[in-house]
Amino acid sequence: MRSRMPTVTLGEIADLVEGEFQGDRDRRVTGARSLGDAGPEDLSFLANAKYQKFLATTRAGAILVERGMSGDSSRWIRVRDPYLALAMVLQKYFAGFPLPEGISPAAQIAPSARLGSDVRVGAFATVGEGATIGDRVVLFEGVHVGAGAEILDDTILHPGVTVYYGCKIGRRCIVHSGVVIGADGYGFATSGGVHHKIPQIGIVRIEDDVEIGANTTIDRASLGETVVGAGTKIDNLVQIAHNARVGKGCLIVAQTALAGSCEVGDYSVLAGQSGVSGHVRIGAKVMVAAQSAVMKDYEGPITLAGSPARPLREHLKGEALTRRLPDILARLEALERKSGSE
């Protein structure tokens, strides 16, 4: 809540973001809001020219703007990238939230589990036999960490996260509520009309600095590992199937689905409701447009769109032709009538 936010001087903010600021360095702000909502005690920012019209009317106490912004104001802090500067300020001064105090007596921690220093565990969280919990890990209320699982230093698991047995999560990860890591992959052998379950005996391995959005599911491998690479950021409601391998620094947006044994190269971007078929590989720096289905291998860098996905230029040509079909059909029918061939 706003009353619990710290206060910070504009001088401190300018120094943090290496900004150019000619105003009152001792003036304080207590929070951050959009240009339209900000008051005199708020920091705001302009990262999109669409909202420049609000500069004249905003009540914000200070505004992060691009270095080359025309005009001048004693409230402006000029920076190279206002959006990145905002992220830095929020992370340092305003991103705090209540944490569990120590280890709740209502938590259940197996005797053989190994806990690092300054671990926080909320009520009704459970840690299984042989699990490893690193230093400064936070397990919120209702988290389940299965037997033999590993959660490394400075990772946060929000309420209701489930990490199945044997799975591994790296350092400084953030896992939001409802995430399930390590449920069985969808594997069946069909014989005589009967679907026989293939035991999924692998694990999930999440590397360092990964963020996973609410209600995302990442299935354990049938054999070996399902892997999410370092620095990848995953939105809410994403499905990653067994033995999929996601590279480092990827962005995967809501309702995307990765089928079994597919591979996504480093720094690729998958927009909302897109998908990658099983055993398909896309290389590094591939961008997949929203609602696109990648059904064959592609090397990057490239932008794909459509279902099935194809290079963007090809997709746009096809869309343009589709829009012309009614006119083409009308002209064809007119020619048929004229020639008497109907």
Q: What is the pLDDT of residues 98-153, one digit of tens each?
A: 899 999 999 999 999 999 999 999 999 999 999 999 999 999 999 999 999 999 99
Task: Measure the CA–CA gap between 321 and 82, rounded to whole angstroms.
Answer: 40
Which letter, b or e, does each residue of 272-291 get, where b requires 16 or more Cβ atoms within 10 Å of its Cβ? eebbbbeebbbbbbbbbbeb
CATH 3.40.1390.10 intervals, the chain: 2-94
At 156 the pLDDT is: 98
Beta carbons of 144 and 123 less than 8 angstroms apart: no
Task: Measure the CA–CA gap between 174 and 39, rounded to whole angstroms.
Answer: 31
For residues 3-9, give the mean pLDDT.
71
| Right CATH for 108-274 from 3.90.1150.10, 2.40.110.10, 3.30.499.10, 2.160.10.10 | 2.160.10.10
pLDDT above 50: residue 1: no
Query: SS in 3 state form for 7-69?
Result: CEEHHHHHHHCCCECCCCCCCEECEECCCCCCCCCEEEECCCHHHHHHHHCCCCCEEEEECCC
Per the CATH hierarchy, to which homologous superfamily does domain 2-94 belong? MurE/MurF, N-terminal domain (3.40.1390.10)
The type of residue at 238 is: V
Listed residue (76, 47, 48, 81) closest to 60, CA to CA: 76
Instruction: Write out pLDDT tens, residues 269-293.
Output: 999 999 999 999 999 999 999 999 9
Name the residue with tokens 């199945």. 164
Name the catalytic one among 144, 158, 176, 242.
242
Beta carbons of 37 and 60 less than 8 angstroms apart: no
CATH 2.160.10.10 intervals, the chain: 108-274
- Tell me the two tokens of residue 51: 């909202």
Name the residue with tokens 């959009």. 34
Instruction: Write out pLDDT tens, residues 161-216.
Output: 999 999 999 999 999 999 999 999 999 999 999 999 999 999 999 999 999 999 99
Residues 6+ apart with CB under 8 A from 332: none
At 137 the pLDDT is: 98
Report residue 321 CA to chain centroid gap.
Answer: 35
Helix (H) or strand (E) run with residue 314 in it:
helix 312-339
Mean pLDDT in the chain? 94
The dihedral region occupied by 147, where left means phi > 0, alpha psi between -120 and 50, and beta the remainder, is beta
Which residues, listed in sequence order, are joined to residue 78 by a DSSP beta bridge? 20, 65
Cis, peptide link before residue 199, omega less than 30° from 0 = no
- Tell me the two tokens of residue 52: 């420049």
Is residue 144 flagged as an active site residue? no
* Per-residue confidence band for 341, with pLDDT thresholds at 50, 70 and 90: low
Beta carbons of 31 and 2 less than 8 angstroms apart: yes
